[in-house]
Structure 1
Amino acid sequence: MTNSAQSGLQFSEILKSSSQLSRIQAEIGLVSVDDLLLEIGIHPFAAAYPSDLAEDIQQQLHAKTDGNPAEFFVSALAERLIAAAQKAGPKPLKVRLAGAGSHKRQALLGSELETQEINPLIGKRGVSRWADKVVRKAFELECEAIKRARIAEGMTNIELVIPFVRTFSESATAIDLLAEQGLCRGAHGLRVHLMAELPANALLAEKFLQYFDGLVVDIDQLAQFALGLDQEHPSLEYLHDDQNEAVLALIDHALKAAATVNKPCDLVSHYINKAPNLQLWLLEQQVTTVITQ
């Protein structure tokens, strides 16, 4: 069941915490691995490279993880994905892999292993982070959790959403990296979608869709990059506008590209309740459901 907007749109929900599962009434539109990692409490790099930490931090880490950081990390993430997949029932469960900027993980135990960036908003995110051989093992642990949920526990309704893909080359890299970890697109019905959050993703959606099974358009992120705004900068908040004509043009292009190749295109918006004109415009485009929080 989904919640209805006054305009007639239906809302599904972003799952950010396992605590939502007991009270969620709407359908789960998207699972955010980034947010689940914050709930788990240890940095992926700490799980992958515990010996690189200072001695006192290693002791804290081993105390928290019963002496096995990697297994703790994989088990904790897998358990959350399994619970979400069971809640979704027979319906597909789209899981967005970790792709947020480094600043999002600073509070996690072991975060000092991740280099602080001058501008993490456009730094090493998504595929560029996974492809870095220096930290590849962290990505491998994330994949192991997904495999454990999807294959070992039979939650084959889990589908993947790849965030922050800058180029076609990164699209191919993402698919290859997943295949190397036993998550081959198409195998056991695995569908892999593109998280379209960059203007390039929308403008060149037809070509990006050659690598993916569908789009999940993050309207807020699209607006942020199209208008050159930092959503977390309080003095610029008044400039954020999901109803800007340039943003609507990008969404329209993505919707039409997906329709042309007969692939799904989901939309995500955190501000949809504050944007009545956007709601009406989406309905005019034959959009009936939006993923929100």
Structure 2
Amino acid sequence: MEIYKGMSTFAGIAIGKIFYYDRAEYQLSQYLINNVKYELTRFEQAKDQVLKDLQHQLKMADQEEQKEDLQHQISVLSMGSFEKAVESMIKAEKVSAVYAVMTTKEELSATFASLEDPAVKEQIRCVRQNADHLITVLGGVLPRIDLGKEPVILVSDSLSPTEIMEMDKGQLLAVVTQQGSQVSHAAILARTMAVPSLVGISPKEEWNGSNAIVDGYTGTLYIQPDGEFLKEYEIRRIADIEEREDLLKLRHQKDETVDGRIVPIYANIGNLDDLNSVLYYEAAGIGLLRSEFQYLGRENYPSEEELFAAYKRVAQTMGKKRAVIRTVDLGADKQAKYLKIPEEINPIMGNRGIRLCLDRREMFKVQLRAIYRASAYGRLALMYPMIDSMEEMDAIEQILAEVRAELDEKRQPYQEIPKAIMIETPAAVMISEELAKRVDFLSLGTNDLTQYTLAMDRQNPLLRNKYNDHHPAVLKMIQMVVDAGHKNGRKVYICGEIAADTKLTHTFIQMGVDGLSVVPACILPVRRAVRNTDLTEGKD
């Protein structure tokens, strides 16, 4: 039995077979090109970019094993034999650079597959890694994700939000990746699937098909566990299921503290499939609908009718319960090729969220029109991400006025709906009193707020053990926003991942937070924490 320790991003126990997902398993189509010189130039530029990326990773590496691996990749990339083979195929067969890279990689792998020489195997491994990196830089291809017919433990080096959203969650027992953190976008989406998830474990292709155990409580992966150990975990898994079933008794209970304070628990969802879970766990409503699900994993912009149909379904499904739709938060790690978002040195600090929407006003207006039209069918609310200035609010209000005028002209029915701001930057915290006057309520996006406050990329694996969302500065900022909102008669909610941290539930209620929004799987644990809270304890 092999044991690997990582970090848990969602608790639980899973037992099953491993499905190793190689992001380089791409679907490619061969087609003739007209400009060979252009494809050769693209390939040369991609090679230069991969070399720069590897050199940067080498500079940042802090482990000798990792440094050696990167140095070997650089050496293999610089040898020239792979490059010559790709260039030869582009010239002789007049195919695209990306097709030539993939085909050359597969041909080399097949040629040397039967050799047992460790040095040759290592060489081919580096060739494959470099080729995968080249394909990523060249772009123009989509990952093929087929988990098979039986539920599996998915193991991969990394997963993007798009890849997570494309997977059939009914086929997932657990997710294990090397890259990512507890608050990376991919980890957040994995949590909505309510399966045990680990990060910080380097995958091995040889694990594919192996029996394994994922312990989402201790952050441990066990490969090929022996009989007695497996039996012990079967017992633990059953106990885990029983505990979850015990929590189900809280489905119909109020979100109310011992001393009688109502603290509604809303749901964060990433796609329409989660609507049933929201109703099943009897959430107070939807506190955050991440509308990116309609923009990712596709080849062009969604139409207004597509957006309207989705939002109408949300409104009708939720009935009298409020559903807060966050306007699309694209950029950083949430991208699609058709969006043509320019490459940025530091995208997490770049043109994302409302900034991108205000640059692409027609895209923004299409979404706003769809939301307003759907508002005629239920209780919808709007929420804007990454706001940090009054000028942004002025621009939004002007666009909203145009949208309403267009709908009035076409005599399309809509309701005046509540509006909210996600407080996600220190700048927004500092002007939260002024921002509160411009909207109906505030919601704290603590994932981004924490990383911007600590100046730590929440998805950087090197910072995994240093990133602290309980930092006093973060908690003080939450209190500042609550006070600013209440001073202006506005309710303040938390919709970041920290809202599901039951160790902080009492603290949040004490602060005066008006409600918490969490992934559906966390609704009942948080409800239990709320119902166990008594603010009168210790008082005379």
Q: TM-score, normalised by structure 2?
A: 0.43
**Which residue matches 2:362?**
137
Deviation of 1:131 (Å): 2.3
Distance 2:514 2:492 in 1: 11
Does the alignment pair 1:173 with 2:392? no
Tell me if structure 1 keeps the 8 A contact 2:354–2:386.
yes
- Indicate if the aligned counterparts of 1:183 and 1:190 stay in contact, CA closer than 8 A: no
| Residue 539 (structure 2) pairs with residue 285 (structure 1) | no
User: For 2:439, what is the secondary structure of its paired residue?
Assistant: coil
Residue in structure 2 matched with residue 58 of structure 1 by the alignment: none
Structure 1 residues 181 and 189, CA gap change in structure 2 (3 angstroms) = closer
Q: Which has the higher contact order (CA 8 A, sep 6+)?
A: 1
Q: Structure 1 residue 180: deviation in Å? A: 1.7
In structure 2, stretches of 5+ residues that fail to align are 1-250, 407-413, 520-540
| CA distance, structure 2, for counterparts of residue 144 and residue 124 of structure 1 | 23
Which amino acid in 1 is paired with 2:369? E
Q: Which residue of 2 aligns with 1:241?
A: 468
3-state SS, counterpart of residue 292 of structure 2: helix
Do residues 91 (structure 1) and 321 (structure 2) align?
Answer: yes
Contact 2:446–2:498 (CA under 8 A) maintained in structure 1: no
Kindly indicate whether the alpha-carbon contact (under 8 Å) linking 1:12 and 1:291 is maintained by their aligned counterparts in 2.
yes
Worse-superposed segment, 166-175 or 252-261: 166-175
C-alpha change, 1:226 and 1:4, in structure 2 (3 Å) is farther
- 1:160 corresponds to 2:414: no
Give, in whole Å, the separation in 1 of the partners of 2:416 and 2:373: 16
Compute the displacement of 1:32 (Å). Answer: 1.1
Offset of residue 281 of structure 1? 1.0
Would you say the 8 A contact 2:493–2:514 is kept in 1?
A: no
Q: Which secondary structure state, in structure 2, belongs to the residue aligned with residue 78 of structure 1? A: helix
Listed one character per residue, the Cα deviations across residues 192-223 of structure 1 (whole Å, up to 9, x for unaligned) are 11111111111211111222221111122211
8 Å contact from structure 1 (residues 14, 291) kept in 2: yes
Pairing partner for 2:484 from 241, 257, 269: 257
Partner of 1:66: none
Aligned to 2:229: none
How many angstroms apart in 2 are the aligned matches of 1:29 and 1:130?
21
Deviation track 1:47-101 (CA, whole Å, cap 9, x = no partner) reads 3xxxxxxxxxxxxxxxxxxxxxxxx532222222112112221122211001232
- Of residues 441, 465, 483 in structure 2, which corresponds to 1:214? 441
1:22 and 2:22 matched: no
Shift of 1:273: 4.0
Q: CA offsets per residue over residues 197-256 of structure 1, 9 Å max, x none?
A: 111111211111222221111122211111111111122122222211100111001001
Q: How many residues align?
A: 254
C-alpha contact (below 8 Å) 1:18/1:80 kept by paired residues: yes
Q: Are residues 3 and 253 of structure 1, via their aligned partners in 2, closer, same or farther at CA, if it must alter by over 3 Å?
A: farther
Summarize the Cα distance change of 1:219–1:4 in structure 2 as closer, same or farther, 3 Å threshold.
farther
Does the 8 Å contact 1:3/1:12 carry over to 2? no
Q: 1:2 to 1:216 in 2, by over 3 A?
A: farther
1:201 to 423, 428, 431: 428
| Aligned equivalent of 2:291, options 13, 33, 41 | 33
- Asked whether the equivalents of residues 102 and 114 of structure 1 are also in contact (C-alpha less than 8 Å), the reply is no
Counterpart Cα distance in 2 of 1:183 and 1:127? 22
For the aligned residue pairs, the C-alpha RMSD in angstroms reads 2.7
| Alpha-carbon distance in 1 for matches of 2:430, 2:254 | 30
Instruction: Report the equivalent of 1:59.
Output: none
Aligned equivalents of 1:183, 1:228: Cα separation in 2: 42
Give the Cα separation in 2 of the matches to 1:287 and 1:21: 25
Distance 1:143 1:117, change over 3 A: same
Q: TM-score, normalised by structure 1?
A: 0.77
Q: Which AA in structure 2 matches 1:279? A: T
State whether residues 3 and 11 of structure 1, in contact with CA within 8 Å, keep that contact through their aligned partners in structure 2. Answer: no
Q: How does 1:55-66 map to 2 (within 5 A)?
A: none
Distance 1:3 1:288, change over 3 A: farther
Q: Does 1:78 align with 2:288?
A: no
Greater C-alpha radius of gyration: 2
> C-alpha distance in 2, partners of 1:226/1:3?
36
Q: Distance in 2 between matches of 1:289 and 1:4?
A: 13
Question: Shift of the alpha carbon at 1:4?
Answer: 8.8
CA pair 273-265 structure 1, distance change in 2 beyond 3 A? closer
Contact 1:166 1:201 in 2 (8 A): yes
CA-to-partner distance for each residue in 1:116-162, whole Å, 9 max, x for gaps? 22222111123322222xx3222122123213312xxx135111001
What is the CA-CA distance between 1:13 and the residue it aligns to? 1.2
> What is the alpha-carbon distance in structure 2 between the residues aligned to residue 264 and residue 102 of structure 1?
29
What is the alpha-carbon distance in structure 1 between the residues aligned to residue 440 and residue 277 of structure 2?
31
**Structure 1 pair 103–288 and aligned structure 2 pair: CA distance change class (3 A):** closer
Whole-angstrom distance in 1 between the partners of 2:515 and 2:252: 9
